[in-house]
């Protein structure tokens, strides 16, 4: 059973994704049809359709799906140390919390920073 606070904390990345997607949709018409791909530091690796702006959102959702699968079954994690029987629930809760922090971090990196050179101009 997943604690309620873990489920609530895992909603944070989805709220970030929803907010960013709404922002992207409001700016979508003002974005040029052809955008730079991997355009960090003023260097463009190529150009593509503005539909590529939704790729990081989809990739982020896939990553969040994998993280959720691990959170659902923390006992499947192969630990590199021995855990006492009475500490297994506490250890699983700590791993779940670390995974949620990872999910929030990944969402913050993948959403706005992935295409800041195009959307935020």
Q: What is the mean pLDDT of each run of 10 residues along the chain (121 residues)?
A: 88 92 87 71 69 86 92 75 74 86 90 63 58
pLDDT of residue 102: 93
Strands 46-49 and 34-37: what pairing?
antiparallel
pLDDT of residue 72: 87
Distances (CA, A) of 101 to 6, 13, 50, 111, 120: 11, 9, 30, 15, 26
Q: Are 104 and 112 in contact (CB under 8 A)?
A: no
Overall pTM > 0.95: no
Residue 48 sits at φ, ψ, to 5 deg, of: -155, 180
pLDDT of residue 8: 93
Q: Are 34 and 47 in contact (CB under 8 A)?
A: yes
């Amino acid at each position: 059973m997943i604690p309620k606070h873990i489920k609530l904390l895992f909603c944070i990345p989805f709220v970030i994704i929803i907010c960013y997607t709404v922002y992207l949709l409001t700016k979508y018409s003002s974005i040029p049809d052809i955008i730079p791909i991997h355009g960090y530091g003023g260097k463009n690796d190529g150009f593509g359709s503005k539909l590529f702006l939704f790729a990081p959102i989809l990739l982020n959702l896939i990553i969040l799906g994998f993280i959720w699968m691990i959170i659902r079954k923390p006992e499947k994690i192969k630990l590199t140390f021995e855990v006492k029987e009475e500490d297994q629930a506490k250890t699983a809760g700590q791993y779940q919390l670390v995974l949620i922090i990872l999910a929030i971090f990944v969402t913050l990196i993948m959403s706005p920073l992935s295409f800041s050179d195009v959307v935020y101009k």
